[in-house]
Structure formats: structure tokens, C-alpha cells
Amino acid sequence: MSDLNQKLAKNALVQIIGKGLGTALSLITFVLLLKYLHTAGLGALSVALTYGSIFAIIVDFGLTLTTAQMIAEPEADEQRILGGILTLRLLSAFLFLSFGAALVFFFPYSPEVKLAAVLSCASFFFGSVASMFAGVFQKRLAIHYVVLAETLNRTFVFVLAALLPLFAPSIVIAASIFIVGSLVQLAITLFAVFKFGHLKPKVDLAIWKSAFLRTWPIGLSGALNLVYLKGDVFFMSLLHVADHDIGLYAAAYKFVDVVTTVPVMFMGLMLPLMTFAWAKRDHTSFREHLQRGFDGLVLLAVPYALGAIALGGPLLALIDPDLAAGGPILAILGPATAAVFISSLFGHTVVAIHKQRPMILGYLFVAIIATVGYIYGISHYGMIAAAWVTLGSETLIALITAVVVLTHTKTKLSLRRLFAALLSGLVMYFAITLIPLPHVTLSIIFGVIIYLLALPLFGGPSPKQLLQLVSPSKL
């Protein structure tokens, strides 16, 4: 293996380990916050964090990805680009997040939620500045610095969450611990950046203009995506859904957050391969990568979706008995997660083939449908409607991105493994529903075994072949 391939493999392994550890820490932190704040408190905290994240996504405006692209170009003046974009990020983050912090006082929230939202905006300020430097480490194949910073962020948040009983647990105290984590992440990131050279913020209008011309399609798409990514909790908070119900919804959605790290990691490794093949007009390799991505993701997504329908309530009750009432929500969000798997595949492919601009109309269409759906549905049916609109929105995005990619690349995917996954998943579903076991973990293990045994019978891969299909070392 060449030195470059060794570095690429090391980077991939570090990312997987870091993402796995970070996800585990995030899940444990979530359980601790639920324990100390209870379901209603978790709902109120979710409102505050969602509010801050909306402004953070607007602030990013695709600039993180654009910065990585600009400094990766041959003969790029990295110091000038970073200095100019750092100033732009500092100014835009301060202005937008300060505006968000002030605006929250005009929302129909309790004083405690408003203060927690202000703290959330502060946390996202530090996090948004830290994330801007990801391209520096990607360029040097030194992604371990990013992973270290993110993992220590999650570690500090976890430790402080564990110490909440030493204080009077409240959503304000809980929101403040995320500021500490973001500060740690920023400090480590800056320390690592300075190892590669000096960094001097400066106003550079030429760099700002160049960055904006590149980033606006990504930023506009991200802003439109906000509606269905964050609209559920946001509209529930405005339409006076009880904090307890929002807490149930947030608990069910946590499983979406955890599981969807899989397609993001998988496609993060596949994207360079697909981009390279498309740039070289190697359509055979491109279609092979796309088919492999589709096969791998549907084989993982289908059993999760059907498992969530069958075991949603008991799975949530495993965390806290009070959450069992959120089972119907998870039963809807499970299939929504499967749609995210597919939209992640085609969404990354849209970037690989440089078709972000044609997708803007698709994102706009879904944003309008989702907004109307959330407002009408939540007003009449509460949190269950939010889940259905989320499922519909994610499915629409998956379909639209698939049409754009398959039409433009003139690719016809084989659906053989999709049908194998569906048939095997149905066998698994009926097995775990008709043969109840004394504990949900036993049902999960039983379901996985049934699914893996059924796959080859319907033309799918053996367990070994499935592992090879999704293994990063085989990409």
C-alpha cells in the first residue's frame, strides 16, 4: 500500500472511531439529561437547542465546504483565504447569532427557554468558528485533529451533564454546558491550525466575493433544508405543543440522529471516489460506486425502519418507562430514517456531479410543502402530524435527488438487493412481532439473526458479503 493510501485508510479509520465514540457520548449525555430534566424538561431544552441550531445553519451558508474547496486548489494562497474567511465567519456568526439571541425574546417561550436559547446561540457561535477550519486538516490528511476536537467537546459535555445533580438541574444550566464543550473544541482546533502556520484575520473583499459566488447555491439549499430538518420541533414550539410531548418527540428523534451517522460516514468515504470517477469521465466506475452505495444503504436502512415500527415503544421504554408513549412517533420516524439513508446517497452524489443548483427548486418545493404540512398538521393533530410531515419531506427529498442524479448520469440502478432487503425485512418484522421475547434487546438480536439468515434466500448477500459491501477497507 502506498504512503498516500495508508494515510487515506488511517483518516477513514480515525473518522469512524471518532464518530462512533462521539455518537456514544452524545447518546449517554442525552440519557443523563433526560434523567435529570425529565421528559418535559428535555422538550424545553430541545426547543432552545433547535432555535440556536437554526441560526447556526444559516450562518454556515455552505462556507465550511467552500473554504475546504478553495484552499485545496493548486497554488491557493491558504493564509490569505483563511484570514479573509475567518473574518467573514466571525462577523457573520456574531451578527446572525446575536440577532437570534435578541429575537428569541419576542417568541412565545417561557423566560427559562428564552435564556437557554441565548446560551444555545453562544454555543453555536464557537462551534461555527471551529468547523470552518475542517478543510485545513482535510487538505493535509490530518483529520485526527478534527476528530479529537469534536470528541473532547462531547466528552466535556458528557462530564458536565453527569455533574448536573451538584447544581439545581435546569434547562439553563444544561444549555450552558454546551458552551463549555464548544469552547474546548474551538481552542483545540485553533491550536492545531497554528501548528500549520500563522493565521491573521483580515478584511479581504475579493476573497469574500469569491467565496460567496461559490457558496450561495449550497447555502441557499441549506437554508431551505432547515424547514424539514428543524421545522418539526420549531413549529411544535410555536403552536403550543406541550413540552412533555416535544420531549417524547425529541427522544424518538434521537434514534434518527444516532442511526443517520451511518450513511453520512459511509458517503463521506464514497464521495471522493465518486467525484474522482465523474471528473475523469469514468462512468463505469462511477456507476459501480453508486450501485454499491445504494445496495449497502438499503440493506441497512430497511431492517431499521421495520424494526422501529415493531419495537419503537419497548426501545424507548428501555431508556425511560415514561418514553414508551413515544413508540408511535418512532414507528413513523423509523421509515423517515430509511429515507434519509437514500437521500444521503443521492444528496452526496449531487455534489459529486455538481448539480447543486438544479436541486434548489426541489428543496424549495419540499420546504413549501413541509411548512404548510407542519402548520396545518401540528395545529390539528399535534406531534404525530410532525412525524408524518417529517417522513413525507424526507421521502420527497430522497425521490427528487434520485431523479436528478439518475437522469443526469443516465444510470439505471439494479433493485435486486432492495427487494431482497424488503422481503427479508418483512420476515424479520413478522418474526419479532409474532414471537415476543422477555426483553427488547433479545428481540433486536433475534431480528438481526432472522434478517441475516433470510437475505441469501431472497437473492441478497450473505453476512460476510454484507460486511464487505459496507466495510470502509473495501472501498
| 70 pLDDT higher than 80 | no
pLDDT for 264-291, tens place per residue? 878 877 877 887 888 888 889 899 989 9
Q: Are 171 and 116 in contact (CB under 8 A)?
A: yes
Query: Residue 340: its pLDDT value, please?
Result: 92
Q: Give the pLDDT mean for 62-91.
A: 77
Query: Residue 64: its pLDDT value, please?
Result: 75
Query: Residue 88: its pLDDT value, please?
Result: 85
| 137 pLDDT higher than 80 | no
Q: What is the mean pLDDT of the chain?
A: 88
Query: Cell digits for 428?
Result: 424479520
Query: What's the number of CA atoms in the CB half-sphere (13 Å) around residue 173?
Result: 15
pLDDT for 397-439, tens place per residue? 999 999 999 999 999 999 999 999 999 999 999 999 999 999 9
pLDDT for 3-41, tens place per residue? 655 666 676 777 778 878 888 899 899 999 999 999 999
Query: Residue 155: its pLDDT value, please?
Result: 94
**Cα–Cα distance between 291 and 334 in angstroms, integer?**
23
Q: Give the pLDDT mean for 300-327.
A: 92
Query: Residue 9: its pLDDT value, please?
Result: 65
What confidence tier does 73 reach under pLDDT thresholds 50, 70, 90?
low
Query: Residue 263: its pLDDT value, please?
Result: 86
pLDDT for 80-125, tens place per residue? 887 888 888 888 889 999 999 999 999 999 999 999 999 999 999 9
pLDDT for 429-457, tens place per residue? 999 999 999 999 999 999 999 999 999 99
From residue 218, how far is each of 57, 64, 369 by CA, in Å?
11, 10, 20
- What's the maximum distance between 2 C-alpha atoms anywhere in the chain? 66
| 315 pLDDT higher than 70 | yes
Query: Residue 269: its pLDDT value, please?
Result: 75
| Structural domain boundaries in the chain | 1-203, 223-475
The fraction of the chain above a pLDDT of 70, given in percent, is 94
The fraction of the chain above a pLDDT of 90, given in percent, is 54
Query: Residue 139: its pLDDT value, please?
Result: 66
Q: Give the pLDDT mean for 147-173.
A: 90
| 337 pLDDT higher than 90 | yes
Distance of alpha carbon 142 from the chain centroid: 22
| 310 pLDDT higher than 80 | yes
What confidence tier does 145 reach under pLDDT thresholds 50, 70, 90?
confident
